[in-house]
Structure 1
Amino acid sequence: MEPNYIQIQKGDTAAFRYFFEGFYPALCFFANKILKDEEAANDIVQEAFILLWEKKKDIRSLRSAKSYLFKFVKNRSLNYLRDNHSKNIDKPEHAEPSFSYRDFVIENETYRLIYDAIKTLSPQEKRVIEFTLDGMKNPEIAKQLDVSVNTIKTLKSRAFKTLRAKLKGVSFHFFMLFYAELFES
């Protein structure tokens, strides 16, 4: 169960760790989308969480904490690009970050919901979906799990049916992207 902001406010390290582990990958992805530098992105996100912990008494909701983290990471990432512009002058991808903050947040939250739903699948279905998301094709997964390709197709179909039921409220657009990724192989 997701911690509430009061637990974090009071210094509950387990609640903060849960919040950190659930949100850290998304922020790293967000920062890296701006920076195209994974190490710098990770450093900025770690700094954001350290500052959030130091200001934990000011947290008024988990939503405001997430908003604070996104704004901090975005601003620090853009500052990093500005300050290191001369180093990246020959890299056109660093010229202007092209992303929609709102769309990124929606997409990221959608994927978080999908991955939470994946965690509820049976162990075998979960492994098949995880291998698929890692880019493996059905024959590769079958070989890895020492089962037939038809078994993989059946497991994927069952997993997809379960996910569709659990994710009724998820944006159709993002769910269809996910669906296409799963059944591409």
Structure 2
Amino acid sequence: MLLHEKLLIRELQRGNAKAFELLYKQYHARLFNFSLKIIRNKQDAEGMVQEVFIAVWENREKLDESKSFSGFIFSIAKNKALNRIKQNLSRKVYLEYMQMENQIQNDTVSDIESRELMDYLLKTIQELPDKTKQIFLLSRNEGLTYKQIASRLDVTENVVDHEIRKALKYIRDKLGNFHFI
């Protein structure tokens, strides 16, 4: 953590609204993009960012300046995102997401917000065969159900299921080869 950020955390602990505003400006865009990638809805992502910063403000006196503020707020965001996914997605899609999340957590241990990992993940998705990539992105980016994807692409739900499993396996295998610093 940078010295400047430690000073902001100290000031935030004392209730300094200006320090809170500076931290908000520093992290808002990254938290929004992180949230949007998970829940795929701009309004929900913005609402989630607001909830994260409300939690920061309400728990400001408990902040530990020796620990990563970034890790703290992204952990809150991840937990809030998982709660939203539990509420909004079907059980099957949620379980698949959890499997992928567990794989990422095991591989990264922390710092899921790191740009390097996100770049690698996006590159990996781009390497998928066209049909697999199209089905995977319709599921993950547009939030379509297997049935909706099958109807849109004129294939069976079994084909959709197979292609998504294939994509997840490929992503997991590639993430297993990713070297973390």
Calculate the TM-score normalised by the size of structure 1: 0.49
Calculate the TM-score normalised by the size of structure 2: 0.50
Q: Which has the larger radius of gyration?
A: 1
